[in-house]
Structure 1
C-alpha cells in the first residue's frame, strides 16, 4: 500500500536527509533550510500546546508578504500541534480578519506584525474574537521554547482524514467561504522519499503569490516537496520580479495573468532565457497575453492551470497551443472534468453547460456550512461556478463565470470572449467586460480598459467588429488607471458594476 504522508512527515524526511538544503528564499528577508524549518516549526508547535491549543483548534495566521519564512514556520507548527491552520494576509481589512476569526472560532491568531517573530517562537499573537471560547494567547512566563528550537516534534498523532487547513475564498461572487482541507488533501501525490521531485529541471522556482491564497499555498507545498528552492518577494512589481528571475537563473516561474500583463509592459527587461516552464494560475490566460509571453520567455513552455480553492488538487493543464488558444486544457493528476446541465445531466462535446471537476484526493468542503457544501460538493465532484464546453478530444473551454454572463436581449454574451478580443488591440494593457442595466435590453455589455496610449472609443469598436458580433461589442468603454482586483489577483467585477 502506498504511504499517506502529511506535510509534517515530508518536512521531517527532508530535514533528516538534507538539513542544509535551502527550501525557501524571500528577497530582502533571508532564506530557510529544511533543518531550520523543522526545528523552528517544532518549537512553534510546542509553544502552541503550552498555550492550551489542542487537536482541531483553529489557529489564524496573519502575515505580510515579507514574512513568508515566518509564515511557513508557523503553518507547519500549527499542523504539528494537531491544530487547523487558517491562513490570512495582513492586507485584509481588520474587519474581515475579525469576521473570519469569528466564523471559524479561532482560539489563537499568530501575526507577523512588528517584524519577524523570535527564532523558535510562534510570533506575535492576538486574542480570539470577543466572546469566543479558546485558550489565552498570552503564554505564561517562561513557557516559550528554547531559542534554537532544538526539541523534537510533539507527540501528536496526525491522521490523514483530520482537518488541516481552512482557506477563505476571495469572494468574487459573494461573501467569502471557508474551504476546509484534510491532511490527505494537502499532501496528495507527495511522498517522503520520491524517486524524482517535481520541477527537477530547476534550481530555483520564482513566484509572487500572496499569503492566504490557494496559489500561495501550492507554492508552500512546492517548497516542501519539489526539487527547486522556492523564491518570492514581499510585493510584486514587474521590474523586481523579472530581476529576481535573472538573479537566480530560475528555471520555473509561476504568476497570475495580471502579473503577466505587467511584465509584458516592461520597456527593458533582464535576461529571462533561463525559464523553461512558466505557469499561469488563478484566472484564464488571454491568448494575446500567452502569445506575448512566448516571445518574452523564449525557452519556456507556457502553461495555464485551471482549478479553484474548492477543487484543489483537481486541475486542468494546458500547454499553450496556437491551434487551441482559448482552451484551459485537459484534466490532470488523476482528476476528471465534465459538463452538465442545470439538472446535473452530462452534456455532449461542444455543448455549453456547467463545469464540474472531480478531485483525485479527499475532497474539500465548506467549513460549518453544510447547505453550501451540499450545493457545491457532490460525490467527489465539485461545481466550479463556470460555464464551458469540451471538444471531442476532452479539452476544456471556458465560456464565462456563471454570474458574469451578460444576458443582453435575446443573446447571452461571454465576457471572457469580449476580454480576449480587447487584449488583441495594441493599445490595450488590461481589459474587463461586465454587464450594466439597460432599459430595453435588460443588460448590456460594458468594458473597463487600461490603455498604453489614448484611443477613441470609435476606433476600439471598429477593431472589435472584426472579432465580435454586434451584440458583443461594449456599449460603454471606461478608461481606468488600473483594474480593481481581489487579493487573489482576479478582477473584481462587482466593484466595476458598483462603480458604474
Structure 2
C-alpha cells in the first residue's frame, strides 16, 4: 500500500478467520487425541522439539544466535547441539526421561544445552538464574536432575551444595575453581565435527520435554511438565496472529505471503530470560525454527537494547511492559536508527492501555501487541495486536483458534459474556501437570481445562479481559512474586509478630514488593536490617523495596484473613 492510497476498511474477524482457517492453508487445524481428550492442534506444526533443531540444517550459514560479538550460524548451532547430545548420552548416561537442569544467564550455551537435551528424549529443567542457593537446590532435588549445566555465577552460588546432593555439572564461562565432579564446557564438548548429527532418538510428541518452575501460593515452586507438542504450538500461533493482523487491515492472504517473503530474515531481540516460558517458547523457539537470528542480552539494559536493535537490524522485540516503557522514554531513542523494527509485543505482565499510544507516538509504523498466558499453558494462549489492540488496548485479545476460553463462577458454571469469573483455558498448550504434585495437578487441571486463578470476562466478540488475580501474587517487571513465600521468610525473623506482603504500584515495573511488619512486643525492627536478613534467603526481586514497621495489629476479617486492600489504602498503595 502506497502513501497515496486510501486506507482499506478494517475487515471483520469472521471474514479473516474464514480466509485463514481453511484446508491447505498454513493455518489448517487437525483434531488429535491428547491423553484421552480430543484437542485441536495446528496441522503443520513440527512434531517435536528435535524437529525444530533439525530445521536449522536448512538455513546453513544464516546467523542463528548472537551474543555480544559472538555469532553462531544455524549450521554451527545444530552441530554444537548434536555434539553435546552425544556427550550427554555417552559420557553422562542421559536417556529418555532423565532430567538435565540448565541454570545460567542468556548465553548461547543455554540454547545449545536445551535443544541437545530435548532432542534425545530427555527433559530440560530451566532453573531461574535469579534464585538463591537454597532455591536452586530445591529445583535440582525436586526435579531429580541427573546433570546440571550452569554458568560460573550459579556454580559459585551452589558451592558446597552440588557435592552434597551428588549432581555432576558442566561449567559454562566459569573463571573460579570448579566444584567437585564439574567439567568445563569446552572440555566436555571437545571437537565439533563438521558432519555431526544427532544421536538416534524418537521423542514422543506428547511425552514430557520440559519442566518450567512456577511459584505456588504456598511459596514452594511447582514444576510445570510440558510436552513437545505443548511448546511447539507457539510457532504457528505467532504466524497466525501476524496474518490475522494484516488481513484485518484489508490485505489478502496472497498479499500477506508476498509481504512476508519480501521481508529480511527476522532478527529477534531476546530481552526476557530463557528460563521463562515466554522467553523460551514465544521468542526462542519460533525465531530459530523459522531460520531467524536470536539476539541475546545478558541482562536488560535500555541503551544496550537500542544499540542492538540498530546494529543487528532487529525486526521484533517481545518484552514485559516495563521494558517497552523504558525504551520509549529513553532520552537517546531518537539517536538510534530503529527503522528495521516492525513489531513490539508485551507479555509476562499486564500491559497498561497507554502503552500502545506511547509506542505509536515514537514509532508510528511499528505494530504493537500483547499476549496472555501462563507457564501452565505454554506461554501465549490469547493475543491482541495491530488494529484490535488499538481499539481494545485494555483487552489481552482473542484466543488462538486452537484454544478454548471460558469464564466460570465459584461453582464452576460457565458465565455469559460480560460476567467476571475465573478464566479457564483448554488447548494443546495446556501442560501435562505438575511434577510429582498430584494434588496440585488435580486442583489446577480439570478434564483438560487449566484453571488459571485469574479473574476476567469475555466480551460478545470473544475478546478476553483480565481484571484481577485470584491468586495472591505480585508481578514485578514480569517476575512472579507470591506473597505467601515472602511472608513465610519474613516470619522466620525472630523479631516479627505478623506481616502482610502486597504489591505497590510502580510506573516502570508495574508493581514492587511491599511489606507491613509488626514486631513482637519489646522488639525493635529496622527496614534495612530486615532486607539484609532476606537477601541470602530469597531472590533479589522478591525482597521488599517498601517496608513499613508498625506497632498496630494488622486488620483482618472475622475468619482471620488479612484485609490487604485496607492495608494498601492505609499506606497509599492502591494506585489510581
Q: Specify the alignment match of 1:208 in structure 2.
A: 271
Give the one of 88, 92, 106 matched to 1:51.
92
SS in 2 for 1:20: coil
Q: Is the 8 A contact 1:167 1:178 kept in 2?
A: yes
Q: Does 1:444 align with 2:565?
A: yes
TM-score normalised by length of structure 2: 0.65
How far the C-alpha of 1:478 sits from its partner, in A, is 6.0
Q: Distance in 2 between matches of 1:354 and 1:280?
A: 23
Q: Distance in 1 between matches of 2:509 and 2:188?
A: 49
Q: Does 1:79 align with 2:115?
A: no
Q: Which is worse superposed, 319-328 or 194-203?
A: 194-203
Change (3 A) 1:174 1:127: closer
Q: Specify the alignment match of 1:38 in structure 2.
A: 78
Q: Distance in 1 between matches of 2:187 and 2:258?
A: 39
Q: Which is worse superposed, 55-64 or 197-206?
A: 197-206
Q: Distance in 2 between matches of 1:61 and 1:48?
A: 13
Q: Does 1:380 align with 2:448?
A: yes
How far the C-alpha of 1:357 sits from its partner, in A, is 1.2
Q: Specify the alignment match of 1:288 in structure 2.
A: 354
How far the C-alpha of 1:390 sits from its partner, in A, is 0.9
How far the C-alpha of 1:99 sits from its partner, in A, is 0.5
Q: Is the 8 A contact 2:224 2:376 kept in 1?
A: yes
Q: Distance in 2 between matches of 1:347 and 1:198?
A: 41
Q: Does 1:152 align with 2:191?
A: no
1:389-428 alignment to 2 at 5 Å?
A: 389-404=457-472, 428=507
SS in 1 for 2:134: helix
Task: Tell me the alpha carbon deviations over residues 425-468 of structure 1, each in whole angstroms, 9 at most, x when there is no partner.
Answer: xxx55554989854799443566xxxxxxxxxxxxxxxxxxxxx
Q: Distance in 2 between matches of 1:339 and 1:229?
A: 38
How far the C-alpha of 1:291 sits from its partner, in A, is 2.1
Change (3 A) 1:129 1:405: closer
Q: Distance in 2 between matches of 1:45 and 1:126?
A: 28
Judging by fraction of residues, say which structure has more helix: 2
User: RMSD between aligned alpha carbons?
Assistant: 3.7
Change (3 A) 1:42 1:297: same
* Equivalent residues, number: 421
Give the one of 320, 331, 335 matched to 1:267.
331
SS in 1 for 2:465: strand
Q: Distance in 2 between matches of 1:404 and 1:126?
A: 34
Q: Specify the alignment match of 1:12 in structure 2.
A: 54
Change (3 A) 1:61 1:125: farther
Q: Is the 8 A contact 2:356 2:368 kept in 1?
A: yes
Give the one of 100, 103, 106 matched to 2:145.
106
Q: Is the 8 A contact 2:269 2:309 kept in 1?
A: yes
Q: Specify the alignment match of 2:207 in structure 1.
A: 162
Q: Does 1:311 align with 2:377?
A: yes
Change (3 A) 1:386 1:129: farther
Gaps of 5+ in 2: 1-29, 31-42, 170-179, 240-253, 475-504, 517-553
Gaps of 5+ in 1: 116-123, 407-421, 448-473, 480-500
Task: Tell me the alpha carbon deviations over residues 405-425 of structure 1, each in whole angstroms, 9 at most, x when there is no partner.
Answer: 99xxxxxxxxxxxxxxx88xx
How far the C-alpha of 1:331 sits from its partner, in A, is 0.4
SS in 2 for 1:187: helix
Q: Distance in 1 between matches of 2:204 and 2:383?
A: 30
Q: Specify the alignment match of 1:61 in structure 2.
A: 102
Give the one of 345, 351, 370 matched to 1:279.
345
Q: Distance in 2 between matches of 1:307 and 1:248?
A: 29
